[in-house]
């Protein structure tokens, strides 16, 4: 099965800049949405860095995710071994920036074995190499954005949401941080695969506030997890089996804030996949367009999707 995907982004009606970014790479089977925030031009920089980092690393691994994961593990082990041999400066502070760690890894010696290392027997069945690789890529992307923010004062405080999906070996692997969303549409039913990392969502989940209170709260844009605000990040992950005909929709909150779940389900059911991004963006703009709006749609299919007969 192959992923067929389409995406579109719009600044909305009230914002001068578009700080959203998206990724569509059907050949690799990956798509992503990132909603940037913070700093002069920082939001756009952070979201762009996140999707470019993800696209580059997964593109290079293309299909051979077990080998790429092993390389990732080896690099981590080499850095750890080299760090153990590093003398701690008089200040007592051990260098930990990605740039510094990379310099140590460059000088580390690979183990002498004569054999290419493999994962422990049975380990391949305990987790997905593709999903674990994505998790590691997100960590490195967060670290890179964090470092870039501290290197340039005008980028201080930048960060981004990131919701990404990879279709591989009959499964859809999702990594997620922030309030951009991933939905799955199957057999006429829409299912939200991600939980929003926001103050409002947490209050709603605990029953501390009502839906009406959430819509008018001054804290509705407060994000509780994102990429780049901290050097290290543990993104949420999910993996679901896919079947031909499954449709996936990724979006920034500039869309989801304007369309309730039931209405979105009906729109997805009635609209040709290729036209969904533009249709949903137009709808969000017609209802105010207060934020940047990004929608990415992917269809899992054995054949190219044909437009519906009129």
Determine, yes or no, domain membership for 168.
yes
The span from the CA of 1 to the CA of 40, in Å, is: 42
- What confidence category does residue 222 fall into, taking pLDDT thresholds of 50, 70 and 90? confident
Domain range spanning residue 6?
2-301
Interval 255-277: pLDDT, tens = 999 999 999 999 999 999 999 99
27: CATH: 3.60.40.10
If you average pLDDT over every residue of the chain, what do you get? 83
66-78: per-residue pLDDT in tens?
Answer: 676 677 666 655 5
The pair phi, psi for residue 22, each rounded to 5°, is -145, 160
Pair 161, 292: CB distance under 8 Å? no
Quick: pLDDT tens for 279-295.
999 999 999 999 999 99
Residue reference for tokens 């995406």: 7
Q: What is the mean pLDDT of residues 162-183?
A: 96
Q: What is the pLDDT of residue 110?
A: 43
Question: How sure is the predictor about 167, in pLDDT bands with cuts at 50, 70 and 90?
Answer: very high
User: By percentage, how much of the chain surpasses pLDDT 70?
Assistant: 79
Classify residue 49 by burial, with Cβ atoms within 10 Å: 0-12, 13-18, 19+.
buried
pLDDT of residue 240: 96
Residue 53 lies in a domain: yes
- Report if residue 79 sits inside a domain: yes
pLDDT of residue 164: 98
Report the candidate in 280, 284, 286 with the shortest Cα–Cα distance to residue 265.
280
pLDDT computed for residue 38 by the predictor: 86
**CA separation for the pair 3, 93 (Å, rounded):** 47
> Is 306 domain-assigned?
no
pLDDT tens figures, 27-47:
999 999 999 998 668 999 999
Q: What pLDDT shows up at residue 95? A: 37
The answer to whether residue 249 is domain-embedded is: yes
Residue 22 placed within a domain: yes
The tokens 């077990």 sit on which residue?
A: 66
Predicted local confidence at residue 206, as pLDDT = 83
Assess if residue 310 is contained within a domain. Answer: no
Q: pLDDT (tens digit, 9 = 90+) per residue, 94-152?
A: 333 344 333 333 333 344 444 444 434 333 333 578 898 899 999 999 999 999 999 99
In a domain, 257, yes or no: yes
Q: How many domains does the chain have?
A: 1
Provide CB contacts within 8 A for 296, sequence distance 6+. 5, 6, 7, 22, 23, 24, 31, 32, 33, 249, 250, 251, 277
């Amino acid at each position: 099965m192959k992923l067929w995907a389409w995406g579109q982004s719009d600044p909305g009606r009230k914002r001068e800049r578009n700080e959203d970014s998206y990724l569509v790479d059907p050949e690799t089977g990956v798509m992503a949405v990132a909603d940037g925030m913070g700093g002069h031009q920082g939001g756009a920089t952070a979201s762009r860095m996140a999707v470019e980092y993800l696209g580059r690393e997964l593109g290079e691994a293309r299909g051979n995710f077990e080998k790429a994961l092993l390389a990732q593990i080896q690099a981590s082990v080499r850095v750890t071994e080299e760090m153990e041999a590093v003398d701690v400066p008089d200040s007592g502070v051990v260098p930990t920036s990605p740039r510094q760690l990379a310099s140590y890894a460059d000088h580390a010696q690979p183990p002498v074995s004569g054999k290419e290392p493999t994962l422990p027997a049975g380990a391949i069945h305990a987790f997905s190499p593709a999903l674990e690789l994505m998790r590691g890529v997100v960590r490195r992307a967060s670290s890179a954005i964090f470092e870039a923010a501290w290197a340039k004062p005008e980028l201080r405080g930048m960060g981004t949401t990131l919701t990404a999906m990879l279709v591989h070996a009959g499964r859809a692997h999702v990594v997620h941080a922030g309030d951009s969303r991933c939905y799955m549409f199957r057999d006429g039913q829409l299912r939200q695969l991600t939980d929003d990392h926001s103050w409002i969502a947490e209050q709603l989940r605990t029953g501390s506030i009502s839906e009406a209170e959430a819509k008018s709260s001054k804290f509705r844009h407060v994000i509780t997890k994102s990429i780049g605000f901290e050097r290290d990040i543990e993104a949420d992950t999910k993996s679901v089996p896919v079947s031909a005909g499954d449709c996936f929709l990724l979006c920034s909150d500039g869309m989801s804030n304007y369309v309730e779940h039931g209405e979105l389900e009906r729109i997805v059911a009635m609209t040709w996949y290729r036209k969904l991004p533009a249709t949903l963006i137009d709808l969000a703009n017609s209802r105010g367009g207060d934020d940047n709006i990004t929608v990415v749609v992917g269809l899992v299919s054995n054949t190219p999707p044909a437009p519906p007969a009129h």
